[in-house]
Structure 1
Amino acid sequence: MRALIVDDERLARKELMKLLEDHPMIEVVGEAMNAEEATQLVNDLNPDLLFLDIQMPGKTGFQLLEELDSVPLVVFTTAYDEFALKAFEVNALDYLLKPIQPERLAEAVAKLADKERAKNAAIRGPEKKLGLNDQVFVKDGDRCWFVSLSNVRLFESDGNYIKVYFDSNRPMIHKSLNALDEKLDERAFFRASRKHIVNLSWVEGIEPWFNGGLMVKLRGGDKVEVSRRQAAKFKDMMSL
């Protein structure tokens, strides 16, 4: 597993690298001292894992994750335990308090091994678009989530924001639906209209609607109208 260490403290980076020598499954491919360096290295190296500090000069670790289209596995490293509830409110992998204890690192590596096995078993799209096996980082106010796209049933445009539907949550992210549509694998996600993108694996029922459109029912009860323009393509994709 190829890892990138992001921490503004040089000694902290070196200490973590030393501890990781006992875990040969983790290969440290780079280190960064701030979010700007990390963004470039993530794009260049495409690591499987980030060991990520939260409080850094300039942008925080949270802000770094918001800028990434697809988020690698993340283990936060922080000296401030008050960030734990914020960082891991929902579905987080792990966090390590500094100074990092070897036993806690070993626990985190065990979790990473489980995640890596699941990832290797998945098949990604040939064009590297975001598919059901990818995860994204969603931040809305003080709440944060790591969300598998397989759990996102619907994206809904709301002005300059997108409402993300997963579980009972509907956080807002600052992104256009057009920009998101270009990054999603069209075999898994369908642009139903100007306002909605649906996860095809969540479709439970379809019925005719006004003006040649369709009404799609998703598992959980959400209903989405498919525009007349998109109805024929949707029928073809769903083999109706």
Structure 2
Amino acid sequence: MMTCLIIDDEPLAIELLEDFVSKVPFLKLIKSCSNALEAVEQIGLHKIDLIFTDIEMPEFTGVEFVRSLSQKPLIIFTTAYSHYAVEGFNLNAIDYLVKPIPFHRFIKAANKAYDIFNLKAEKQTSTKTPLQKIDFIFVKSEYENIKLNLDTIIYIEGLKDYIKIYNNKSKPILTLNSLKAFEEKLPQNFIRVHRSFIVSLNHIDSVQRNRIVIDKIRIPIGQNYKDEFIKRIGG
């Protein structure tokens, strides 16, 4: 959903744009303003993603208004004068709509703005600081939830409806779970090597043909898992 403002000193122009905005599901109108100064106040009160602004307005034109903004929302100019188009695009406006504005041109401009809005949102998401790495899980065993540091897990064995977790800090932990469900909780340094085994790459001592050696324990490598395992260890 994009929040938007309408700025125009003509009531009929505002009425038309309000009608257009109401027909577009991804637009939410915050306010219609009759002048740019009123719009400045709204920008201070609300997060505005998109502005539809006329250019020819008394006291403070749409161009002057856009130039005055330190943080610019997406801008679509609306005006009766086509000769302002070049100046509008020089201000990185998304589009330039000449009055009287037909709905098909309005929706085309709105869709263009929405595409840019979504691209910016995706970029911001991808550049955010990643969440703190989770280095432990809780495992239910009998009547308690046991906190288990992931770096202590050596391998996991599937036993029908149960799994057995072998670690280097305590005796093996037996819990009611499937190997597949438990695998989905584990980070990338764990890999399924057999229908009954998941191993920690960090604890592998050696690989001998079709088996893995971890602290003198030999774990088979299933044929269906062998190619992916070899790829992961760089073999």
Give unpaired runs (5+ residues) of structure 2: 129-235
Number of equivalent positions: 126
Report if the CA contact (8 A) 2:94-2:112 is conserved: yes
RMSD of Structure 2 on Structure 1 (CA): 1.9
Equivalent residue for 2:79?
A: 78
Equivalent residue for 2:214?
A: none
Please state whether the residue corresponding to 2:82 is helix, strand or coil.
Answer: coil
Taking the aligned partners of 1:115 and 1:62, their CA distance within structure 2 comes to: 21
Pair 108,57 (structure 1): closer, same or farther in 2 beyond 3 Å: same
Equivalent residue for 1:122?
A: 123
Q: Give the superposition deviation at 1:46.
A: 2.1
Q: Give the superposition deviation at 1:83.
A: 0.7
Equivalent residue for 1:147?
A: none
Please state whether the residue corresponding to 2:124 is helix, strand or coil.
Answer: coil
Deviations 1:28-69 (A, max 9, x none): 111111111111111111210000110101010111112211
Length-normalised TM-score, structure 1: 0.50
Percent identical among aligned pairs is 37
- Within 5 Å, give how 1:1-240 maps onto structure 2: 1-89=2-90, 91-123=92-124
Taking the aligned partners of 1:121 and 1:11, their CA distance within structure 2 comes to: 37
User: Structure 1 runs of 4+ off > 2 angstroms?
Assistant: 89-92, 122-126
Length-normalised TM-score, structure 2: 0.51
Question: In the alignment, residue 111 of structure 1 is paired with which amino acid?
Answer: K
Question: In the alignment, residue 24 of structure 2 is paired with which amino acid?
Answer: H
Deviations 1:55-102 (A, max 9, x none): 101010111112211000000000111111221147431011111101
Pair 90,17 (structure 1): closer, same or farther in 2 beyond 3 Å: closer
Give 1 or 2 for the bigger CA radius of gyration. 2
Taking the aligned partners of 2:35 and 2:22, their CA distance within structure 1 comes to: 23
Q: Give the superposition deviation at 1:123.
A: 2.5
Pair 64,2 (structure 1): closer, same or farther in 2 beyond 3 Å: same
Give unpaired runs (5+ residues) of structure 1: 127-240
